[in-house]
């Protein structure tokens, strides 16, 4: 863990900026590799998808075997224990309940000229959900994306996730998809999955918007297909920042730092800001004590040594200033209850704010309700976490009658003269 002291000077800001840049930087330039594979998938379709799946995932797939069968989806539910099924159902319910409250509603109103204006909201016709593979089955990512798609009633929902070398998908992920009601699932991952969803193949119909996290190659692929399709975010390595006052339990802070560092890519980023110098030392001791019991201890150690920054501050206001600059994906406020509201109001760039000593990031990751797909790499300055409206689009509506048209005519005709677009003015005048 690297420790620096807060100051108002340029040296501190340079150190903070440099560390944030480290967090946001990708591992080398992958754009050429990505563009080549995308072009190949666009040209050769399923054949290219199958070849890249074998090359990168070690799975030899037949064209007919790319899609998960209904039987596989149904049997996956039975592979879960009653406790596991109950946990997944509870997470689904929490996410659905949270996002139901955010759904927009159509509206109409009269404007100053008497015209009727409004908005209408529609589910996107067809969406693609990318669920990363790797060392762990990301059941929570299934829940945090697929539930939103079903909630807004997207007519088409396609899921792509990389298979294991034996051509299978983790039963827990398939079970969650089946429990949510998603039945179109493909054993395809990586760049080739993004290409297939963006351009379409014989087996995989093109989608209109792609959602979901992934490695640097997947994110670059999403960036390159933007315009052909929509995308949600370009999330990079996962992040957490913890603001801890003198009352925070060092063992709890340590556990949350460890939890964030265990995601597995090795590029996770961890920030800590505290008003207590003594606490920082106790946290390091607690980390050393807890690490041996963790499954991914080696990976966690690597992240905490190279990609963990602690800032010693004199006040919670200084901690808030640091957080506002970092714009962390997850922000934990391990501070006294009396400080939570004021501190939360000072920080406007965090993806998710987890408030109080008893609110670890894991709650937001799995079951609290808000989606855990959040902006990273300081993107919280201008973007927000995934929400139901991201699976929708809107149309504005305008309706004038003869009376309201007459009221609006002088404005239109004036703008037409100002912009030398006399046809615009004429299109109104001819109706009067």
CA distances from 352 to 23, 66, 327, 361, 382 (A): 18, 36, 10, 9, 14
Q: Name the pLDDT band for 235 (thresholds 50, 70, 90).
A: confident
Question: Which pLDDT does position 136 carry in this prediction?
Answer: 76
Q: Which of 57-66, 115-124, 283-292 has the lowest mean pLDDT?
A: 57-66
* pLDDT at position 33 over 90: yes
> Is 252 tagged catalytic?
no
Question: Which pLDDT does position 26 carry in this prediction?
Answer: 47
Q: What is the mean pLDDT of residues 306-335?
A: 96
Out of 99, 178, 252, 330, the active site residue is: 330
> Is 183 tagged catalytic?
no
Out of 220, 268, 321, 329, the active site residue is: 329
In whole angstroms, what is the distance from residue 120 CA to residue 106 CA? 5
Q: What is the mean pLDDT of residues 56-60?
A: 94
Please give the radius of gyration of the chain, using alpha carbons only, rounded to the nearest integer.
25
| DSSP letters for 159-214 | EE-PPPTTS---HHHHHHHHHHT--EEES--HHHHHHHHHH--SSS---SEEE---
Burial class (CB in 10 A: 0-12, 13-18, 19+), 135: exposed
Question: Which pLDDT does position 135 carry in this prediction?
Answer: 66
* pLDDT at position 23 over 60: no
pLDDT per position as a tens digit, 298-312? 999 999 998 999 999
Task: Share the mean pLDDT of the chain.
Answer: 95
pTM: 0.94
Percent of the chain with pLDDT over 70: 98
Which domains, and CATH codes, for the chain?
Answer: 2-27+236-381 (3.40.50.1980), 45-78+124-231 (3.40.50.1980), 400-429 (no CATH)
């Amino acid at each position: 863990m690297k420790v620096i002291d807060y100051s108002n000077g340029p040296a501190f800001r340079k150190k903070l900026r440099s560390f944030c840049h480290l967090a946001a930087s990708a591992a080398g330039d992958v754009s050429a590799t990505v563009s080549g594979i995308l072009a190949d998938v666009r040209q050769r379709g399923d054949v290219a998808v199958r070849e890249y799946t074998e090359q990168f995932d070690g799975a030899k797939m037949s064209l007919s075997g790319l899609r998960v069968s209904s039987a596989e989806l149904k049997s996956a539910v039975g592979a879960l224990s009653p406790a596991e099924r109950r946990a997944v159902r509870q997470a689904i319910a929490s996410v659905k309940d949270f996002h139901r409250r955010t759904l927009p509603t159509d509206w109409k109103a009269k404007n100053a000229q008497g015209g009727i204006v409004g908005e209408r909201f529609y589910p996107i016709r067809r969406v693609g959900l990318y669920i990363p593979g790797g060392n762990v089955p990301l059941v929570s990512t299934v829940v945090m994306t697929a539930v939103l798609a079903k909630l807004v009633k997207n007519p088409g929902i396609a899921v792509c996730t990389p298979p294991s070398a034996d051509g299978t998908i983790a039963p827990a992920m398939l079970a969650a998809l089946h429990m949510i009601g998603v039945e179109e699932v493909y054993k395809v991952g990586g760049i080739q999955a993004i290409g297939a969803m963006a351009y379409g193949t014989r087996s995989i119909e093109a989608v209109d918007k792609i959602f979901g996290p992934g490695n640097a190659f997947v994110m670059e692929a999403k960036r390159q297909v933007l315009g052909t399709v929509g995308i949600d975010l370009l999330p990079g390595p996962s992040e957490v920042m913890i603001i801890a006052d003198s009352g925070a339990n060092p063992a709890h802070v340590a556990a949350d730092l460890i939890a964030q560092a265990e995601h597995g890519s090795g590029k996770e980023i961890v920030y800590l800001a505290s008003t207590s110098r003594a606490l920082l030392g106790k946290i390091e001791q607690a980390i050393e004590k807890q690490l041996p019991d963790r499954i991914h201890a080696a990976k966690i150690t690597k992240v905490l040594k190279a990609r963990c920054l602690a800032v010693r501050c004199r006040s919670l206001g200084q901690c808030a200033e640091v957080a506002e600059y970092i714009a962390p994906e997850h922000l934990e406020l391990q501070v006294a209850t009396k400080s939570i509201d004021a501190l939360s109001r000072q920080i406007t760039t965090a993806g998710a704010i987890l408030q109080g000593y008893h609110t670890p990031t894991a709650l937001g990751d799995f079951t609290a309700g808000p989606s855990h797909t959040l902006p990273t790499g300081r993107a919280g300055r201008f973007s927000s976490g995934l929400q139901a409206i991201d699976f929708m689009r809107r149309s504005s509506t305008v309706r004038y009658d003869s009376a309201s048209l007459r009221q609006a005519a002088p404005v239109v005709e004036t703008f037409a003269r100002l912009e030398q677009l006399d046809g615009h003015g004429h299109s109104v005048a001819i109706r009067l």
